[in-house]
Amino acid sequence: MSKPVVGIIMGSQSDLKVMKEAAEILEELQVAYKLTIVSAHRTPDRMIDYARSARSKGLKVIIAGAGGAAHLPGMVASMTTLPVIGVPVKSSNSIDGWDSVLSILQMPGGIPVATVALDGAKNAGILAAEMVGAFDESVAKNLEKYKDELKEKVLKSAESIEEKGWRGSKIGF
């Protein structure tokens, strides 16, 4: 396995049910990653060490997921020049998900976090792969293949729905 270029972190083990989707798509796209738990509130020193050493460890992008008062992505972004992708998680302490979304999205000027949709870990993985694909041709090729397959799937569904009518088609993507 090559050296990880994407770091995936989350505030709690309970975020894994969502954040595993980032790991799964990175594996599909053949991007080396390292996943661990770093909590902004429960392990603040670990968060500082992680953010400050991420670049020197060879990471190129960090995906950070958290729920509720989700300070992890923004705090990590404040301590690194690597791009940080934030995943708002609808966790047990989240009111309705908006708390996580807004606390990751509404960053002050100068410290951006690229925020994906609520529980959008899969897209976070794809976005991270696209960042890596900007300088790694083999990852860019894997992304091209992935997007071609998506297109083919839609075209096949369109063909089938036009041929059989919507009643004869299965519901869902």
Residues in the annotated binding site for substrate: 12, 15, 42
Complex with ligand RP5: residue 88 or 133, whichever CB lies closer: 88
Residues that bind ligand RP5 (CB under 6 A): 10-12, 14-15, 39, 41, 66-68, 89, 91-93
Q: In the structure encoding, which two tokens stand for residue 5, read together?
A: 């270029």
Q: In what order do the strands lie in the sheet with 114-115?
A: 33-37, 6-10, 61-67, 84-89, 114-115
What is the C-alpha to C-alpha distance for residues 29 and 153, in angstroms, rounded to an integer? 18
Give the nearest residue (CB) to ligand RP5.
11
Complex with ligand RP5: residue 37 or 143, whichever CB lies closer: 37
Query: What residues form the annotated binding site?
Result: 12, 15, 42
What is the nearest approach in angstroms of ligand RP5 to the Cβ of residue 45?
Answer: 16
Complex with ligand RP5: residue 5 or 89, whichever CB lies closer: 89
What is the C-alpha to C-alpha distance for residues 167 and 17, in angstroms, rounded to an integer? 34
**Dihedrals phi, psi of 64, to nearest 5 degrees:** -125, 125
